[in-house]
């Protein structure tokens, strides 16, 4: 094994994964577990926005396109294969820990999107970038 592989193993096992979970826990506690208690708000903002007709807006992304893009960048095919492998190798305990990491990851993703919206800028055409 090369030194790069050894360094990658030292970084990923288990320190970085624990840091991801810890970050999700800190964000969850700081937001009052928004991913659970803010459910009506984010359902109304996402699914409700898909059903509303956009009048007079040309260009840019529709709410459905924005949702599909966000889901595609978050979920991906690696998640599907990773879940199958984890269930095969780890059994029911792996499912429990995937639920916990998904719950904490929701708040991490919420914080990531909130920061992206907060720090976006208008380009020379007047569109958000």
30 vs 43, which has greater pLDDT? 30
Q: Tell me the percentage of the chain whose pLDDT exceeds 90.
A: 9
Q: What is the SS3 assignment for 124?
A: coil
Three-state DSSP state, 128: strand
Across 36-45, 47-56, 71-80, 106-115, least confident range = 47-56
Instruction: Identify which of 64, 37, 36, 70 has the alpha carbon closest to the alpha carbon of residue 48.
Output: 64
């Amino acid at each position: 094994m090369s030194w790069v592989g050894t360094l990658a193993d030292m970084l990923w096992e288990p320190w970085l994964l624990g840091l991801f979970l810890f970050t999700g826990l800190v964000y969850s506690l700081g937001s009052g577990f928004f991913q659970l208690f803010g459910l009506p708000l984010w359902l109304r903002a996402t699914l409700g926005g898909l059903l509303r007709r956009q009048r007079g807006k040309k260009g840019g992304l529709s709410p459905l396109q924005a949702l599909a893009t966000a889901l595609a960048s978050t979920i991906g095919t690696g998640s599907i294969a990773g879940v199958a492998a984890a269930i095969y190798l780890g059994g029911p305990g792996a499912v429990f820990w995937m639920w916990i990491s998904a719950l904490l990851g929701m708040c991490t993703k919420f914080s990531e999107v909130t920061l992206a919206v907060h720090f976006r800028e208008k380009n020379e055409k007047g569109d958000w970038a």
